[in-house]
Amino acid sequence: MGQCARCGVKTGILSGSKNLLGNEYCSYCYTEEKLYYSENLLAVLQEKYDVPPDSGEVFYQYGFFRIPSSSYHIWVKDKNFCFFPSTPKKKEEDYVFIYFAVSDIEYYVIEGETTGETAIPDVHKSSNVGLENEVAANMKPETGGVGRKDRIINAQNPKTAEDDQRKTNLHILLDGIKRNMYFRYEDYGEFYKIIPDKAYCNVKNS
Ligand SMILES: [Zn+2]
């Protein structure tokens, strides 16, 4: 019917025909344009949502918000705590901007254990390993995929990162209901950079 807006080839049965932002592309160009678009969409939307250059960057693992497990910018604007993806997404609907009042944050704290420290790989300690890993597996029911067998194998080599069960847990109160958002352990410092007042130790002592 038409013509590819990028390479000029006749679109139709042989070269395909797909629309993107009001333009028609052949199948090949569509794939390329789509990639370009998604990479630039990140920058465009980051500008739209006013992501500041000094924002923090954290990795959301799971929790109350059903958003992709991925990297997000965090910052505070107008007393709101804001989240927006920091890496390109395949689907436009994955660019989710989340914000809630800073006052809705109860605190954030590091929770969980690192098997590497608690399960000392001595022979006489090994009987505890299965139990500890079972407990660890039960602590994170939403991660799926990681079976108990994997954990036991890891326990024999406790220096792998997967043994580190510690997480930064952001406790929030939304509409009066306690919610949680779980991030990597090492993201704690990013939260501390953005909202130091909400660190558990500071909330407790204030
Ligand atoms: Zn084309």
CA distance 63 to 82: 16
Ligand 1 center to 81 CA (angstroms)? 42
Q: Give the closest residue to 165 by CA, choosing from 189, 178, 146.
A: 146
Ligand 1 center to 25 CA (angstroms)? 5
CA distance 158 to 182: 22
Ligand 1 center to 36 CA (angstroms)? 14
Ligand 1 center to 23 CA (angstroms)? 11
pLDDT for 1 equals 63
Ligand 1 center to 12 CA (angstroms)? 11
Ligand 1 center to 163 CA (angstroms)? 48
CATH of domain 49-110+166-204: 2.30.29
Q: Which residues is 183 bridged to in the sheet?
A: 60, 168
Ligand 1 center to 40 CA (angstroms)? 19
Ligand 1 center to 38 CA (angstroms)? 18
Taking a C-beta distance cutoff of 8 angstroms, is the pair 29, 7 a contact?
yes
pLDDT for 149 equals 38
pLDDT for 38 equals 73
pLDDT for 21 equals 76
Domain spans, the chain: 1-48, 49-110+166-204, 113-163
CA distance 181 to 60: 7
CA distance 82 to 50: 10
Q: How many other CB atoms are found less than 10 A from the CB of residue 125? A: 12
Print pLDDT tens along the chain (206 aa). Answer: 689 999 999 998 888 899 887 889 999 999 998 888 777 888 888 988 999 999 999 999 999 999 899 999 999 999 999 999 999 887 778 888 999 999 999 999 999 876 654 433 333 333 333 333 333 333 333 433 333 333 333 344 444 556 678 999 999 999 899 999 999 999 999 999 999 999 999 998 87
Q: What is the DSSP string of the chain?
A: --B-TTT-PBPBTTTB-EEETTEEE-HHHHHHHHHHHHHHHHHHHHHHTT--TT-EEEEEEEESS---SEEEEEEEETTEEEEEESS--SSGGG---EEEEGGGEEEEEEES-BHHHHS---GGGHHHHHHHHHHHHHH-TTS-S--HHHHHHHHTSTTSGGGB--EEEEEEEETTEEEEEEEEGGGHHHHHHH-GGGBHHHHHT-
pTM of whole model > 0.95? Answer: no
Ligand 1 center to 27 CA (angstroms)? 7
Name the token pair of 191.
């939260």
Ligand 1 center to 48 CA (angstroms)? 30
